[in-house]
Structure 1
Amino acid sequence: MNAPLQPSHSAAEKPPITLLIAAPRGFCAGVDRAIEIVERALERYGAPVYVRHEIVHNKYVVDGLRQKGAIFVEELDEVPDNAPVVFSAHGVPKAVPEEADRRGLDYLDATCPLVSKVHRQAERQLEADRHIVFVGHKGHPEVIGTMGQVPEGTMTLVETVEDVEALDFAEDDALAFLTQTTLSVDDTAEIVDALRTKFPHIVGPKAEDICYATSNRQAAVKQIAPGSDLVLVIGAGNSSNSLRLVEVSEKCGTNAKLIRRAADIDPTWLEGVGTLGLTAGASAPEELVREVVDKIAEWREVEEHTLVTTEEKMVFKLPRQLTQ
């Protein structure tokens, strides 16, 4: 086993490394909004404020909010009566706010507006008597929340082209499709093509369901990965958009590693690496990006370049309860 590289005290002894940092990266408007909702709820109600599920999939963010007084639970029955509760950015099944109303809980919905848009689309397709084929990853909170917007049996989940091929709807069945917002742009396009080929009359959304931030971060990785020997993606193992960034890099032919933060980096990964790509999933704060840059600089003489593929200016409004 190779001995770990030790930080050098002399810059002249450090091998050079070019660092290509993707932009956009990190927090998106939906994540910014969700975190601000919890922070403002703590200011308004005082601690504790309960949060159903991780507000966003990032331990650093969750731990920071926990230190401020947020209590994270998985189910509503863990929330005491009369306590304020926030629903996570991923969205929840309809039964959750209904139960909160029944119990008289004061709740704030931090569901990303782009996820809420998919929920409304699901309701419209149901009203039009169409069966919905939903493209997503089984078990992901966003998928659970979206499938929970309609009665059981009215939405079918597919994850792959093979799943599409196995569908056995009749030729005259009224069908529609929707997609999870944090999927691979390229993989989803293949699945949608397969759906349209097999079911030519299937109805799709007027605009792409995959959110702007997911698409932009994947496009940015496509710019840095081909010129990199290795790409580091800062994000959580349960973060769909972060996992997709790893996949996008690997499809570009460049090995990628998912890390939660700088402490996860094995310095032996950098052996033979002249150019390192760096990005962050939509739930990862910029502090973790700078932390990684500083850690790399302990071992290597860093020449830093940011590759900007687009500028993001999206801002989402806060719930009325927090602005009145």
Structure 2
Amino acid sequence: MESHRSQDGSATTAPGGVVLAEPRGFCAGVRRAIGIVERALEVHGAPVYVRKEIVHNHYIVSELTKRGARFVDSEEEVPEGAICVFSAHGVSPAVHDAARRRELDVIDATCPLVAKVHQEAVRFARDGRTVLLVGHEDHEEVEGTRGEAPDAIVVVETEEDVARLDLADDAPVAYLTQTTLSIDETARVVEALHRRFTNIVGPNGDDICYASQNRQNAVKELAPLSDVVLVVGSANSSNSVRMVEVARDLGAEAYLVPDVDHLDESWLSPGKTIGISSGASAPEILVRQLLDRLKELGHSEVTVRQGEPEDVVFSMPGRLADAEYGRIPRTELAEERQA
């Protein structure tokens, strides 16, 4: 497959070619979480129980299941005393308490950036503020964060939600955001909060994670160069869905592609330039399979569109650190491609 690299986007792709976004795929938190499950299986043997999907990707869950991971919806389903990994999305204190009652051997794979939001929620609630959590009500990350101070946290998703809040305009409030949201949409909600409330504070820095920001920015650069944008990611992956929305907001035809079997060839009219990226929980193997299929369909020329470099690494829990390789997971699924 012929591939060209463009540092500034000045290179063009011939009609019918592919523009491949960078960065794409695994973020540091996802890589760490997957590595934790793999390393736990290596150290402790199967089965290792995982509360919820370790990350929102069906391929990763399927592969880990084959290796001996057992995914459950609740810590109550884990046999007493067994090893239980908490997913990258974080859990509430109530879940930690339930795990202690069952004497589970917990390994917490919560993304450090999500853990930061939890800490901020506790701090703002202790300060006597109503915490307005911008996010999706039913997302696991929001459920975990809200559980830190359920009496003080209110979830808002839209500007209309802000208008409907039953709070005085001078009430002491704080805002936090789910880490995987659309940057532009979140900014509009936060602006609405600032317009309404006169006594409002926010987090130290942006809660939306660096990887979500970088991947959305890469899609913004990709969309004008493409006739159709394909984002590899599972339907329950919030950051992947947001990337599709970002492309569509810019006028591009865009689709979520969980795997190559979901590719609809009717999207690929002859001569169309195809943009490709992938969500932060999507493994590179799914991108490669999609590229191989596109090559079979005549889309063989690939131009790589360079974006923001990423070098963030989150360490493994000490109990799982590999003395030979150090604290960075060096396991098959957790390994990221070399860009």
Q: For residues 227 and 46 of structure 1, what CA distance do their matches in structure 2 show? A: 48
Counterpart for residue 202 of structure 1: 200
Match of 2:252 in 1: 254
Paired letter, 2:184: D
Per the TM alignment, residue 167 of structure 1 is displaced from its structure 2 partner at its CA by: 1.4
Matches for 1:82-93 after TM superposition, within 5 Å: 82-93=81-92
How big is the shift at 1:27? 0.4
Q: Structure 2 unaligned runs (5+)?
A: 1-13, 323-339
Letter in 1 for 2:284: E
Measure how far apart 1:198 and its partner are: 0.4
The TM-score normalised by the length of structure 1 is 0.93
Alpha-carbon distance between aligned partners in 2 of 1:278 and 1:188, rounded to the nearest angstrom:
24
Counterpart among 170, 184, 187 of residue 185 in structure 2 = 187
Aligned length: 309
Q: Distance in 1 between matches of 2:321 and 2:64?
A: 20
Shift in Å at residue 104 of structure 1?
1.4
Secondary structure of 1:263's counterpart equals helix
Q: Is the 8 A contact 1:16 1:301 kept in 2?
A: no
Runs of 4+ that moved beyond 3 A: none
Matches within 5 A, 1:8-87: 17-87=16-86
Distance 1:291 1:153 in 2: 47
Distance change >3 Å, CA 16–CA 204, structure 1 → 2: closer
Cα deviation, residue 272, structure 1: 4.2
Whether the 8 Å CA contact 1:229–1:273 is kept in 2: the answer is no
* Residues 1-324 of structure 1: pairs in structure 2 closer than 5 A: 17-150=16-149, 152-323=150-321
Deviation at 1:267, TM superposition (A): 1.4
Q: Distance in 1 between matches of 2:48 and 2:166?
A: 46
String of CA shifts for 1:97-119, please: whole Å, max 9, x gaps: 11111221101000000000000
Amino acid at match of 2:198: P
Change (3 A) 1:82 1:266: same
Q: Is the 8 A contact 2:169 2:196 kept in 1?
A: no
What residue ranges of structure 1 are gaps of 5+ in the alignment? Answer: 1-14
The CA deviation string for residues 142-174 of structure 1, in whole angstroms up to 9 with x for no partner, is 010110111x33111100001011113123321
Deviation at 1:200, TM superposition (A): 2.6
**Residues 50-82 of structure 1, C-alpha deviation per residue, up to 9 Å, x if partnerless?**
000000011110111001100000001110012
Contact 1:280/1:289 (<8 A) preserved: yes
Compared with structure 1, are the counterparts of its residues 292 and 172 closer, same or farther at alpha carbon in structure 2 (3 Å cutoff)? same
Deviations, residues 269-311 of structure 1 (Å, cap 9, x unaligned): 1014521000000010111111100000011141101111110
Partner Cα separation in structure 1 for residue 104 and residue 87 of structure 2:
16
Over aligned residues, Cα RMSD in angstroms? 1.2
**Closer/same/farther in 2, CA of residues 186 and 236 from structure 1, 3 Å limit:** same
Inter-partner Cα distance in structure 2 for 1:142 and 1:83: 24
Greater CA deviation, 168-177 or 56-65?
168-177
Worse-superposed segment, 164-173 or 255-264:
164-173
Cross-structure match for 2:333: none
Matches of 2:118 and 2:53, distance apart in 1: 20
Q: 1:255 to 1:16 in 2, by over 3 A?
A: closer
Moved more, 283-292 or 16-25: 16-25
Percent sequence identity is: 52
Instruction: Provide the secondary structure at the position in 1 that maps to 2:302.
Output: strand
- Distance (Å, rounded) in 2 between the aligned partners of 1:273 and 1:43: 48
Partners of 1:148 and 1:278 in 2: how far apart? 36
Q: In 2, Cα distance between the equivalents of 1:33 and 1:132?
A: 29
Post-superposition CA distance 1:201-223 (Å, at most 9, x none): 21101200000000000000001
Please tell me the residue identity of whatever aligns with 1:117.
K
- What's the secondary structure of 2:300's corresponding residue? strand
